[in-house]
Amino acid sequence: MDKTLILQDFLPYRLSVLSNRISRSIAQLYEKQFRLTMPEWRVMAILGEKSGLSAGQVADRTAMDKVAVSRAVASLMAAGRLDRKTASDDRRRSVLSLSKKGKDVYAKVVPLACDYEARLIERLSPLDRRNLDVVLSKLTEIQIKTAVPGETTR
Amino acid sequence: MDKTLILQDFLPYRLSVLSNRISRSIAQLYEKQFRLTMPEWRVMAILGEKSGLSAGQVADRTAMDKVAVSRAVASLMAAGRLDRKTASDDRRRSVLSLSKKGKDVYAKVVPLACDYEARLIERLSPLDRRNLDVVLSKLTEIQIKTAVPGETTR
DNA sequence: TTAATTTAGTTTCATATGTAACTTATTGCA
DNA sequence: TGCAATAAGTTACATATGAAACTAAATTAA
């Protein structure tokens, strides 16, 4: 046998395991209690940050694909958590924002999410946190440039 | 509105986006060319590292759930890429290893994966690499307790 | 022993997700 | 203008995934 891959040391694998575990933990904070799926929460989070985006803009900013956004928007609309208007200058485009009900949910979920993140990083030293931030940014930057042609850059 | 969450700065979100992008890029290296799904590749990778594991041991080591392992093993068997025996001391347990054909595939995929990782981290300074390694290890060790309201601990 | 319990692994079923095809609106350009 | 090409979003279809039920084997306890 020529070469062996040590999965436990393989960066993409380590990242994937860590990220999936964290995502699942956070999802637990809102899925049951607020009947929110992860894509729904992402859409709400981005609209809570900046209102009036179109579905496409939401997709760009959340790294979701447009079908996922479309579905999340549909279910959020059905739950009365979003307002949707048609853009006056382009009738294909929607203009999305959190409804009153949506804002109430948002205001309840944000502290849970922030609290989780705080408890995650409080065990890292300030230097570790800084290093994490720097390295994540660099990798994200690299990753974008490394994107294979034919892959959806989203 | 009291509090706003900046998604772009939120650690779990950043990790998730980065990890998904990397995973998809790597999957592209083997999915089409070798007709391998990601769970199948994980099973092969762990068996290439250590032969003779049971399905349960594969699940533990790869952070996959047992259903995913069962399905990946079934399809790898169908493709003739695994050998499966029954453990002599416990006839419920299987003893899995890469077949000749499986080893051939493994030997071809490993360099592609290693090469991808190398290209990813070659753009980080040695210090950044070290920092990444340290911080990933620390984060992976941290286990956050998420008390879900209305649920009792078993 | 043998009946109850636990464990390894598989199957079933309901849901989630991605790709491609589609619909409608806009734009580019002859 | 008017017609082809493009863009925003949705729908359809096929596949992936996870939870729970299930099967068979091993273990425990009576």
* Rounded mean pLDDT for each run of 10 residues along chain B, 154 residues in total: 86 94 91 94 97 97 95 97 97 98 97 94 96 96 61 36
CATH architecture for the domain at B7-141 = Orthogonal Bundle (1.10)
Give the distance from residue B129's alpha carbon to the nearest chain A alpha carbon, in angstroms. Answer: 8
Q: Which two tokens stand for residue B137?
A: 């290890």
Q: What percent of chain A has pLDDT over 70?
A: 91
d(Cα B91, Cα A11) in Å, to the nearest integer? Answer: 36
Nearest residue for C24, CA–C1': A92
Which residues does chain B have within 8 Å of residue A111's beta carbon, measured at their own beta carbons? 3
D27 C1' to A147 CA distance, Å: 53
Question: pLDDT tens digits, residue range A114-153?
Answer: 999 999 999 999 999 999 999 999 999 886 554 443 333 3
- Give the residue extent of every domain in chain B: 7-141
Residue A102 to chain B, least CA–CA distance (Å): 12
Q: How far is the CA of B90 from the C1' of C6 (A)?
A: 14
DSSP B50: S
A7-123 topology per CATH: Arc Repressor Mutant, subunit A (1.10.10)
Q: Which residues of B touch A131 (CB under 8 A)?
A: 128, 131-132, 134-135
pLDDT of residue A61: 93
Say what the pLDDT of residue B11 is.
96
Quickly give B90 CA vs C1 C1' distance in Å: 21
Judging contacts by C-beta atoms under 8 Å, the chain B residues touching residue A151 are: 24-25, 28
User: SS3 sequence, chain A?
Assistant: CCCCCCHHHCHHHHHHHHHHHHHHHHHHHHHHHHCCCHHHHHHHHHHHHCCCECHHHHHHHHCCCHHHHHHHHHHHHHCCCEEEEECCCCCCCEEEEECHHHHHHHHHHHHHHHHHHHHHHCCCCHHHHHHHHHHHHHHHHHHHHHCCCCCCCC
Extract the runs of DSSP E, i.e. beta strands, from B36-125.
82-86, 94-98
The per-residue pLDDT of chain A, averaged, comes to: 91
